[in-house]
Copies of this chain bind each other. A is one copy, B any other.
Amino acid sequence: MTDRTDTRTGWLSPDEIADARERLPIVYVNAVPVRITATGEVTHIGLLLRAAPDGTISRAVVSGRILYGERVRDALLRHLEKDLGSVALPRLPLEPQPFTIAEYFPDGSVTGFHDPRQHAISLAFVVACDGDCAPSQDALDLAWVTPEEAVSPGVRAEMAGGHDRLVRLALGHVGQLP
C-alpha cells in the first residue's frame, strides 16, 4: 500500500509515521475500480501496475491511508484520483459499509493479507469509474481485465500482499465471481 507525505499541520512526518506504524493499526481504504454495463453489472476490473521500493513489480488495486480529520469518502476519492487521474469519474458507493475488511499484517500468515511495514486495517470498496482512467503518480500502467482473467492463475500471480484475494472477494460481492 502507498502513502504520500502530507504537509498539512497536524499530520505526520515520515519519521512519525514510521513510529506510529510500530504501535497502532493504521486505517486504510482499498478501492477496486470497475467498468459496468447500463444495468450495473461489472464487466472489468482495473489493476494498477506498480513498482515497489524493493524494485519488484506487481498488479494492485487502489489503496492508501485515511488521514487525521478525513472522511472515509474523501479518502477514497483522493486515492482514486491520485491513482486513476482526475477524470476517472469514480462513483462512490452510497452505503458506508465496505464489502470486506482486509487486515494486513507484517506476518502474512495471520490473514493472508500482508504488509511488511505495518498492521493496516483496510476498508475495501468496489467503485465504478465511468471516465477516462490513466495511471498517475507511481503507477506504471492500468489494465482492465475481465472477471475470468482476474481470477486466472497468471493474473493472480502478478498480485502481491493478498490483492488477488481482495479482487476475488470484490467479484463475489458483485456476483461476478466466475
Contact = CB atoms under 8 A, between A and B. Distances in A.
Interface of A: 10-12, 16, 20, 22-27, 34, 36, 39-42, 66-74, 76-77, 91-101, 103, 105, 110-111, 119, 121, 123, 126, 128, 165, 168-169, 171-175, 177-178
A29 to B, nearest CB: 10
A22 B36 contact: no
A103 B16 CA distance: 23
Q: Chain copies in the assembly? A: 4
Nearest to A34: B94
B39 A92 contact: yes
Given A10-B23, A98-B101, 15 more contacts: A22-B68, A24-B26, A25-B27, A27-B27, A34-B94, A39-B73, A40-B92, A41-B73, A71-B110, A95-B173, A121-B123, A168-B172, A169-B172, A169-B177, A172-B172
Contacts of A34: 94
